[in-house]
Structure 1
């Protein structure tokens, strides 16, 4: 079928559904929901058999849903209606939630239900639940709904329900003097990603994001207790929580200590090296060791890696190579493994060009440290989505194991035609060929974990349930393998042979020469694109690589 996506943006859910439906032979085109007239034009051009709305912030116009079958992907159980569905579910601590695919009608979320799927809830950030449980349930429900629609023998039924209101800041308000840590965490979790919880820090209005539990620090409820790297600890009625990111009024979302330099007056409470803390606390880099395997975890918010984070992770990795292990697993965050350089801290810098240069050099240092590690085999374990430089940072490892369901965006051009670095010109062509590399870097489309393995870019796609259990087992088997010494020797020989043909320094210099033009050259595309990305500027048009129906040579397939 021809399926047209009407969506607010090409977010992770829309990307996953695009890939899943395309893999099943459907022709999918995308139109951003900019204005009624634009959407109507897209429908007229593409003449879809079905319209799917995976992520909208306003109602589909009646001119479209009254004339064409239009399915809404609603992040709620059957009968749930209205906005803020997932926010309410998280804040109220419901045990089970789900996704419903329903037909668009005049009343929001009240149309006949074509399919639904449910999942158990957990205490986690909204973004984490959306990118994991909600996405998996949406895939299940959408595929079932599309199959039912194509078969033509299913009659959808209406489900009675009631609409809840848009969750406002008054509903999210924090009372630090009376609320315990669990309540505070639930409220910030429910607002994570967007819109955040309105509050004050240092007597300044701001919005809070990225909350973590703290198990030992205590103080007067509401008081600021300490800082650690980029996070700030604040006392609750029965304990304390860490605030990782904030957004000041009129500003952009930043690490808490970046947004509030006043935090430097708070006492620093460092951890004991890189080892995993024994009790819950804020720790963005943590190391564990068992069975000859060292696991280095890094939980960077939204997968963005600032200059300082890259430097710290490089230090942690080099330290890990001195440990008596045989294998090092680099395990990123639950939501993201890495998305490359940190565009928000770059945007906030006095000189974004200089900070861009420092950031790309810092992440290149990390990639080079991984590439040149001769004492252990290295494994990148990708549980979360990965984009841009993060895709090639992972490929710097000897093996890349990726969870089924992860979305990859191994290209840079969407960010103002960035050339990219992280040694991609060395790492990508041998894996996929020159034509394959050219296609990946220029087509700018997402890639599933299975596609990455099929084309040879990554090494293994592991089942989603029990991903890290499988990773630990595989890594332990690798560490105990009798041919490990031979593999390490072969790795060193291959690195030496490659270095003799063309040094890593040459690849890096060539890539950075292109990046310098992106950062300091006459073409401001990167700086403009970064600004709009960070500022969350509304889309004014749909990129042509997504809107197939707007290609000049577009014709309806026979």
Structure 2
């Protein structure tokens, strides 16, 4: 197949768009990104690019008529629904109605939203009790990549897409309205499972609006619990979550967003932060791994178990963000795990992102954000320090995608494994930060100084496949999360004797702790300038991220050379 010039038109360079960009490049094509800013700019960028094909992996805006009416260059929408499904709340309805099967459809853009002819579709069994973000980043993302590959192959063979025909018995999807808060509403007297499903279906955005502690809040990150009490009453606090009684049992609510007043903007935060001052009379439970045996069915953001000579520590922080206090809890857990009589320490993420570094929302909410950022970066450095100084052989498992300090946290281990399909962003510059987490030691150690410099300066995502080629990770495991966990434990169990890792074991034995601490000191001196003194506009970039400010242009690093050359020729 010839190499195609493909525009990825997207509302944001999100995880799926990054996966599509990486996958197309690996297949020999030349993708270029256009972020949807305003209609005129988007039309000009695409019309002037001479692209062969436009694919929209994540588009909230309507495709302008000027683009979809061009018969020579189709615009293909990746819709997270089965054939015939239409509307912006596809996943919300699928979770709410507990469908048994779902899918992704690639359809051509036409005047009517999601009603164009079909290029490709891929269906999957719907996971039980799944939250929207996990569904989107897992089965939906995998199905979308299948459809994008299929579209590209069909485009190269002069394929004619199939018109959407609701008279066909296999077309069972339907147009659904945008889900509103009235469709999501619940009573605390309802059963916990029903309430959790409502919250799961609104995960990420927009959350479910509900009354709690005398106020109105959007709820996120719900976990079932067997305890009971008066419905709507807060029963306990553990780590950052509050336990709320329901009609039968109770739910841990991990994150909240206060309902904004007119003209006000609010954002998502750990529940305990939002309800600060209203929890004085609520019992605080100890969630430490010292007193709580491993149990996947209960709320345990940090959990630990042993299998032979391997101690496995799992940490699961919402959206992969790690606040100062979360880092401190993880340090305490690591200290305890390191004192156990084990030979291998396996650290892994949970069901979402592995880690994205410091918690920008908590930083933004602080009285002095720069000082909170400074405390947060030192706390996550402490986590990395515990890994670097462990007597055990440390193995990290990238269960989900990772960015910035989250990548470097994984690299503090001696051996790194990744689940197939994860995307890594090993850079800090786009947030106005020099970076820390011992990156000036761990990244060059893994890939060499030249590639380390390139990764941190270019600020582009890399796939697990690329990371393995570079030496950043040692191997890639199954895409299925449960299969990956089993595979990861097997790899960790054999790491002490496997000859493939002999050089890594020897490297650990010859570590220069003085050099490592010097790297930390140099990094923190730079980070103090960035976080406390705002040298590279970190404060503004953090605020824009937290308040989800729309970009005013597509970053130059995401525009392929062929698109830039065309634009330069037209200007000349």
Q: Could you say which residue in structure 2 is the equivalent of 1:528?
A: 540
After the TM superposition, list the runs of 4 or more consecutive aligned residues in structure 1 that deviate by more than 6 angstroms.
482-489
Question: Residues 88 and 167 of structure 1 are in contact (CA less than 8 Å); yes or no, is this contact kept in structure 2?
Answer: yes
Q: Could you say which residue in structure 1 is the equivalent of 2:428?
A: 412
Deviation at 1:488, TM superposition (A): 9.4
Q: Could you say which residue in structure 1 is the equivalent of 2:517?
A: 505
Which residue of 143, 165, 184 maps to 2:195?
A: 184
Aligned residue runs from structure 1 range 125-144, under 5 A: 125-144=131-150
C-alpha distance in structure 2 between counterparts of 1:155 and 1:233, whole Å: 50
In the superposition, relative to structure 1, how do residues 3 and 264 fare at CA in structure 2: closer, same or farther (>3 Å)?
A: farther
Which residue of 100, 109, 116 maps to 2:121?
A: 116
User: TM-score, normalization: structure 2?
Assistant: 0.92
Q: Could you say which residue in structure 2 is the equivalent of 1:243?
A: 253
C-alpha distance in structure 2 between counterparts of 1:527 and 1:254, whole Å: 18
Matched, 1:211 2:222: yes
**Cα shift readout 1:32-85 (whole Å, capped 9, x = no counterpart):** 111110111111221111011111112101111001300000000001011100
Aligned residue runs from structure 1 range 197-276, under 5 A: 197-215=208-226, 217-250=227-260, 251-261=266-276, 262-271=278-287, 273-274=289-290, 275-276=292-293
Which residue of 327, 331, 349 maps to 1:332?
A: 349
Q: Gapped runs of 5+ residues in structure 1?
A: none
C-alpha distance in structure 2 between counterparts of 1:422 and 1:265, whole Å: 37
Q: Could you say which residue in structure 1 is the equivalent of 2:387?
A: 370
Q: Could you say which residue in structure 2 is the equivalent of 1:47?
A: 50
Q: Could you say which residue in structure 2 is the equivalent of 1:546?
A: 558
C-alpha distance in structure 1 between counterparts of 2:500 and 2:159, whole Å: 57
C-alpha distance in structure 1 between counterparts of 2:176 and 2:271, whole Å: 32
Question: Residues 303 and 338 of structure 1 are in contact (CA less than 8 Å); yes or no, is this contact kept in structure 2?
Answer: yes
Q: Could you say which residue in structure 2 is the equivalent of 1:175?
A: 187
Which residue of 364, 371, 385 maps to 1:354?
A: 371
C-alpha distance in structure 2 between counterparts of 1:10 and 1:283, whole Å: 31
In the superposition, relative to structure 1, how do residues 553 and 443 fare at CA in structure 2: closer, same or farther (>3 Å)?
A: farther
Question: Residues 286 and 296 of structure 1 are in contact (CA less than 8 Å); yes or no, is this contact kept in structure 2?
Answer: yes
In the superposition, relative to structure 1, how do residues 492 and 435 fare at CA in structure 2: closer, same or farther (>3 Å)?
A: closer
Q: Which moved more, 1:341-350 or 1:422-431?
A: 422-431
Q: Could you say which residue in structure 1 is the equivalent of 2:178?
A: 166
Which residue of 269, 278, 282 maps to 2:299?
A: 282
In the superposition, relative to structure 1, how do residues 529 and 488 fare at CA in structure 2: closer, same or farther (>3 Å)?
A: closer
Q: Could you say which residue in structure 1 is the equivalent of 2:79?
A: 74
**Cα shift readout 1:508-543 (whole Å, capped 9, x = no counterpart):** 111111111101235351110000000111222111
**Cα shift readout 1:447-481 (whole Å, capped 9, x = no counterpart):** 100100001111111121311111111222235x3
User: TM-score, normalization: structure 1?
Assistant: 0.94
What secondary structure, in the 3-state scheme, does the structure 2 residue paired with 1:472 have?
A: helix
C-alpha distance in structure 1 between counterparts of 2:307 and 2:164, whole Å: 53
Q: Which moved more, 1:152-161 or 1:483-492?
A: 483-492
C-alpha distance in structure 2 between counterparts of 1:430 and 1:554, whole Å: 40
Matched, 1:150 2:156: yes
What secondary structure, in the 3-state scheme, does the structure 2 residue paired with 1:136 have?
A: helix
Deviation at 1:265, TM superposition (A): 2.4
**Cα shift readout 1:152-173 (whole Å, capped 9, x = no counterpart):** 1454342425310000000000
**Cα shift readout 1:530-557 (whole Å, capped 9, x = no counterpart):** 000001112221111113367478568x
Q: Could you say which residue in structure 1 is the equivalent of 2:473?
A: 458
Matched, 1:85 2:90: yes
C-alpha distance in structure 2 between counterparts of 1:489 and 1:414, whole Å: 34
Which residue of 300, 309, 313 maps to 2:326?
A: 309
Matched, 1:341 2:358: yes
C-alpha distance in structure 1 between counterparts of 2:515 and 2:470, whole Å: 26
Question: Residues 257 and 264 of structure 1 are in contact (CA less than 8 Å); yes or no, is this contact kept in structure 2?
Answer: no
What secondary structure, in the 3-state scheme, does the structure 1 residue paired with 2:247 have?
A: coil
C-alpha distance in structure 2 between counterparts of 1:348 and 1:78, whole Å: 43
Corresponding residue pairs, total: 548
What secondary structure, in the 3-state scheme, does the structure 1 residue paired with 2:280 have?
A: helix
